[in-house]
Structure 1
Amino acid sequence: MHELLHGIDFHGYHLPKGLLLIPNMYHVYHDKKIWGDPENFRPERFLNEDESRVIRSDSLVAFQPGKRQCLGEPLAKDVLFLYVAKIFQNLHAFPDPGNPKPNFDYDDGIVLIANPYRVVMKSRY
Structure 2
Amino acid sequence: MKAVIQEILRISSVVPLGVLHELVNDIDFHGYRLPKGLLLIPNMYHIHHDKKIWGDAEKFRPERFLNEDESRVIRSDLLVPFQAGKRQCLGEPLAKDVLFLYTAKIYQHFHTLPDPSNPKPNFEYDDGCVLATKPYRVVVKSRC
Does the TM-score normalized on the shorter chain lie above 0.5? Answer: yes
Change in 2 beyond 3 A, CA 1:79/1:112: closer
Q: Distance in 1 between matches of 2:101 and 2:33?
A: 46
Tell me how far apart the structure 2 counterparts of residues 71 and 108 of structure 1 sit (CA, whole Å): 25
TM-score (norm 1): 0.78
Which of the two has higher C-alpha Rg? 1
Contact persistence 2:26–2:33 (CA under 8 A): no
What letter is aligned with 1:122? K
Counterpart-to-counterpart distance in 1, 2:69 and 2:32: 45
Give the aligned partner of residue 95 of structure 1. 114
- Count residues with an aligned counterpart: 124
Structure 2 vs 1, CA of residues 20 and 66 (structure 1 numbering), >3 Å: closer, same or farther?
closer
For 2:124, the aligned partner's letter is: D
Q: Do 1:48 and 1:55's aligned partners in 2 also have CA atoms closer than 8 Å? A: yes
Aligned residue type for 2:81: A
- Aligned alpha-carbon RMSD (Å): 2.6
Shift of 1:118: 0.8
The alpha-carbon deviation at position 13 of structure 1 amounts to 7.0
Q: Partner letter of residue 107 of structure 1?
A: D
Q: Secondary structure at the match of 1:68?
A: coil
State the partner residue of 1:30. Answer: 49
Per mean C-alpha deviation after superposition, the further-off stretch among 73-82 and 109-118 is: 109-118
- 1:124 corresponds in structure 2 to 143
Equivalent residue, structure 2, for 1:53: 72
Shift of 1:75: 2.1
Query: Helix, strand or coil for the counterpart of 1:29?
Result: helix
Give the distance between the partners of 2:48 and 2:122, measured in 1 at CA.
Answer: 19
5+ unaligned residues in a row in structure 2: which ranges?
1-18
Q: 1:124 to 1:75 in 2, by over 3 A?
A: same
For 2:102, the aligned partner's letter is Y
**2:101 alignment counterpart:** 82
| Higher RCO, 1 vs 2 (CA within 8 Å, ≥6 residues apart) | 2
Amino acid at match of 2:65: F
AA aligned opposite 1:124 = R
TM-score, normalised relative to structure 2: 0.70
Identity of aligned residues (%): 74
